Amino acid sequence: MVQIPRRWKRHRIVSRLDRSLRQKVNECVERIVQEGDVPSRQNPRSIMDLLIREHAEAMLEERKGGVYGRLELSSSEEEMIFSNLKTMLLGGHSTSMSTLCFLFMLLSKAPDVVEKMHREHIEQLGASPTVTLLDNPSMLRRLPYTEAVIKESPRLYPLGSDLKQAPPGTTITTHDGRRLPNANGLIMTASTHTIHYDANIYPDRTSFRPERWIDPEKAPTGPGYFRAFGGDGRTCPGQNMGMNILKIVMVITMGKYTFDCAGLAPNKEPRTKHTNLYLVFRDTAFQQLGLDGRPGDGMMMTVGKKA
């Protein structure tokens, strides 16, 4: 038996991914050039449109001038576009899965929330919610309670924080008004976890309470208070798609299945001060550091079918 080195396996996977991305990008460029309409930055049809718009615009100008060259990307364009696409593919996959894991965990102990959310699906989407969404995906906008439920998961379990390099001369203002210098181009971050557990912003901060997002007079306002998708001008470009994916999963599953965390052994005494979820979910309540704040040791569930 011949052992294939891990590096060679990784090379094969990356090469296969590059070929797939190259095909999709070229198809998108060809479509834009044939239609003769370059999407604007303000109203793109997809993230792909934003990444290739400058290349497509240049190709379209050449066609108008009678130059019919190749539509393929240059090596530098491929490197830039592929690196961004891979980042979004990998980042979007792991973060969505981690959010779903914690969301199912929280819902497993909140049957009243599950019932209220499912009732919203029936009232807004009818007896066959999935069919309704296939016919009219924009109906996802009519699910405010479902969106509130989803937002509570990354509030309680934020997956990461922004990392930014401060420009020269930047200072940090402390809570007591002191200004501290930030020398040597240090990387700075705002702790999403600290913000999401601030009792001044989120009363009853450790509770899974979707209703906090419904009342406009009580709901936290401003991008600085809910940082699940980043903030300060560098928000996640796929946040709308990610939220829609989570809504679709909720619509598909909540009316058909039940979810229970497997092997729970709640503790009688709290281990930490920042949360009491440990009393319900024990070690499952804590995140494991990786590319994102993912469930520690997986998230085992017992899934049943509703009668």
Give the mean pLDDT of the chain.
80
Angle, alpha carbons 162-166-169 (nearest 5°): 155
Tell me, what's the pLDDT at 114?
A: 95
Q: Name the band, by pLDDT with cuts 50, 70 and 90, for residue 222.
A: low
207 and 67 assigned to the same domain: no
113 pLDDT higher than 90: yes
95 located within any domain: yes
180 located within any domain: no
CA distances from 105 to 121, 286, 298, 299 (A): 20, 12, 11, 8
164 located within any domain: no
3 pLDDT higher than 60: no
Contact of 257 with 305, CB cutoff 8 Å = yes
1 pLDDT higher than 50: no
pLDDT more than 90, % of the chain: 19
The reply, when asked if residue 236 is annotated as ligand binding, is yes
| Token representation of residue 153 | 């998961």
Count of domains for the chain: 2
239 pLDDT higher than 50: yes
CATH classification at residue 98 = 1.10.630.10
66 and 142 assigned to the same domain: no
Question: By residue range, what is the domain housing residue 126?
Answer: 83-159+190-305
Question: Is 2 in a helix, a strand, or coil?
Answer: coil
Cα-flanking dihedrals φ and ψ of residue 260, to 5°? Answer: -130, 130
114 and 194 assigned to the same domain: yes
143 and 258 assigned to the same domain: yes
Tell me, what's the pLDDT at 238?
A: 72
235 and 202 assigned to the same domain: yes
103 and 237 assigned to the same domain: yes
The tens digit of pLDDT for each residue in 276-296 reads 777 777 777 777 776 677 777
286 located within any domain: yes
- To the question of pTM greater than 0.85 for the whole model, the response is no
61 pLDDT higher than 50: yes
Span 232-236, average pLDDT: 67
117 pLDDT higher than 90: yes
300 and 154 assigned to the same domain: yes
The tens digit of pLDDT for each residue in 154-199 reads 999 888 776 777 777 778 787 788 887 777 667 777 788 888 888 8
101 pLDDT higher than 50: yes
Tell me, what's the pLDDT at 25?
A: 80
20 and 89 assigned to the same domain: no
CA 53/CA 119 separation, integer angstroms:
42
Q: Name the band, by pLDDT with cuts 50, 70 and 90, for residue 64.
A: low
Which of 223, 226, 220 minimizes the C-alpha distance to 203? 220
95 and 204 assigned to the same domain: yes
114 and 243 assigned to the same domain: yes
185 located within any domain: no
301 located within any domain: yes
135 located within any domain: yes
CA 213/CA 151 separation, integer angstroms:
8
pLDDT top residue among 66 and 246? 246
68 and 121 assigned to the same domain: no
88 and 60 assigned to the same domain: no
181 located within any domain: no
Tell me, what's the pLDDT at 249?
A: 94
CA gyration radius, the chain: 23
